[in-house]
Structure 1
Amino acid sequence: MKIAILGAGNMGLSFSKSFLKYELIKPENLHLITRNKSKVSKISEEFPKSKISTFEEIEDLDANLVIIAVKPQDFSYVTDNIHFPFRENQMILSIMAGIKIEKIQTLLKHPLVVRAMPNSPTLLGMGITGYTAAEGISFSQLINIERLLNSTGRSVYLEDENLLDGVTALSGSGPAYFYYIIDAMIKAGIEMGIEENLSQLFVKQTMLGAYHLINNSDKSLEELINDVASKGGTTEAALKMFEESSLKEVLKKGILKAEERAKELNG
């Protein structure tokens, strides 16, 4: 398989590293295209056997799969710089937030489009990606796409493309929500007199342990909360303040706002 990646940023490069790590493609069959000429040298050092180009240099894409890994706001730059038709059997995989399959098909004049929404833990091979596909894409083609996506973590096929905006808001943007909460907890620790490095250690290890408890317990989240929050205790005092401040509702509203923004990106 030959793969071309339009957009050699963090996500495009993390996908590339995963594909190579699991030997899903050979280095010489990888073509990375960047908008930034100044990055060509650095990318070439990371991928010495792969082809590196700028958008202005591409006159054709010799690839079975073309991955669009630019920000949705930069999609017009991609369409402005592709002056050649896609080949009949080429697949397009978009990992842009918000941009729907129909719009990609129309602007690129090509029907074979798969749309996916990964998240940043793909950098460590621990991401999760929701994906869906246009009509006319075969089961075997989808299996090949899934193999590639699974190299970056886990993937889930969705029949309804509209759900991808929700996936964008939930898991695509999701890591930032956890970072936001963790930052608040660390700062609370500092305010209580705990040194910053120690506060970070306590919070990060607590987060890690809590994740493993969720993942390895048959209990519901409510039961797990009740296991920690004894009557009249410290946890109950904190949870009561969260409830009085409608923290859960605020978080839900923020996630729904992210979904709304994802829908707007389609234009």
Structure 2
Amino acid sequence: MKIAILGAGNMGLSFSKSFLKYELIKPEHLHLIIRSQEKITKIAEEFPKSKISTFQEVKEIDADLIIIAVKPQDFQTVAQNIQFTFKENQMILSIMAGINIEKIQKLLNHPLVVRAMPNSPTLLGMGITGYTAANGISFSQLINIERLLNSTGRSVYLENEELLDGVTALSGSGPAYFYYIIDAMIKAGIEMGIEENLSKLFVKQTMLGAYHLINNSEKNLEELIKDVASKGGTTEAALKTFEENSFKEILKQGILNAEKRAKELNN
């Protein structure tokens, strides 16, 4: 399989590294297409055997799959300015937030579109990606896409495309929510007199341990919380403060606003 990535930013490059790491494609079958001439030298050092071009240089793409990895806000401009046409059998895989299949088909004048929403842990091969496909994509083509996506972590096929905006809000943006909460916990540790590096260690290891408990316990989340929060204890004092300040509701509302913004990006 030959792959071209249009917009080789962080996500595009992390996909490229995963495909090469698991030998899903040969380096010489990878074509990275970037906006800035200035970045070519640096990217060429990371991908010495792959083809690297700027948007302006590309008049034709020799690839089975073209991954659209530009910012959603830039997509319309990019679509209007590309100087190549898609061949009949080429597939498009979009990893842009918010832009639906119909709009991609219309702006690129091409029917074979798969839309996916990865998240940043794909950088470590520990991401999760929701994806869906246009009519006309065959089962064997979907299997090939799934194989590529699974090299970056896990993938989940969704029949209903509208759910991808929710996936964008939940897992696409999700890592930032955890970073935000972790940052608050670390700062609380520092305020209590714990040295910063130690505070980071305590919080990160606590997060890791909690993750493994969720994964390995048959108890639900409420039961796990009760296991830690003994009556009249320190955990109960913290949770009471969270409840009094509607922390859970604020977090939920933030995620719903992220979904709303994903829908707005399509307009």
Q: TM-score normalized by structure 1?
A: 0.99
Tell me how far apart the structure 2 counterparts of residues 20 and 251 of structure 1 sit (CA, whole Å).
37
Q: Unmatched 5+ residue regions in structure 1?
A: none
Tell me how far apart the structure 2 counterparts of residues 81 and 124 of structure 1 sit (CA, whole Å).
33
Is the aligned partner of 1:2 residue 2:2?
yes
Kindly tell me the number of residue pairs found equivalent between the two proteins.
Answer: 267
Tell me how far apart the structure 1 counterparts of residues 8 and 86 of structure 2 sit (CA, whole Å).
20
SS of structure 2 residue aligned to 1:115 = strand
Shift of 1:172: 0.1
1:18 maps to 18
Tell me how far apart the structure 1 counterparts of residues 249 and 197 of structure 2 sit (CA, whole Å).
31
Is the aligned partner of 1:81 residue 2:78?
no
Render the CA deviation track for 1:93-126: whole Å, top value 9, x for unaligned: 0000000000000000000000000000000000
SS of structure 1 residue aligned to 2:258 = helix
2:45 maps to 45
Tell me how far apart the structure 2 counterparts of residues 211 and 39 of structure 1 sit (CA, whole Å).
38
1:63 maps to 63
Shift of 1:36: 1.2
2:143 maps to 143
Contact 2:56 2:83 in 1 (8 A): no
Tell me how far apart the structure 1 counterparts of residues 254 and 37 of structure 2 sit (CA, whole Å).
37
Shift of 1:194: 0.6
Contact 2:80 2:107 in 1 (8 A): no
2:244 maps to 244
Tell me how far apart the structure 2 counterparts of residues 235 and 12 of structure 1 sit (CA, whole Å).
42
Shift of 1:74: 1.2
Segments of 4+ moved more than 2 angstroms: none
Equivalent positions of 1:72-111 (< 5 A) are 72-111=72-111
Tell me how far apart the structure 2 counterparts of residues 134 and 140 of structure 1 sit (CA, whole Å).
14
Tell me how far apart the structure 2 counterparts of residues 49 and 78 of structure 1 sit (CA, whole Å).
26
1:177 maps to 177
Tell me how far apart the structure 1 counterparts of residues 209 and 92 of structure 2 sit (CA, whole Å).
39
SS of structure 2 residue aligned to 1:128 = strand
Tell me how far apart the structure 2 counterparts of residues 6 and 73 of structure 1 sit (CA, whole Å).
15
Shift of 1:264: 0.1
1:235 maps to 235
1:212 maps to 212
Tell me how far apart the structure 1 counterparts of residues 81 and 147 of structure 2 sit (CA, whole Å).
29
Render the CA deviation track for 1:164-222: whole Å, top value 9, x for unaligned: 00000000000000000000000000111111111111000000100011011111000
Shift of 1:67: 0.1
Tell me how far apart the structure 2 counterparts of residues 146 and 82 of structure 1 sit (CA, whole Å).
27
SS of structure 2 residue aligned to 1:131 = strand
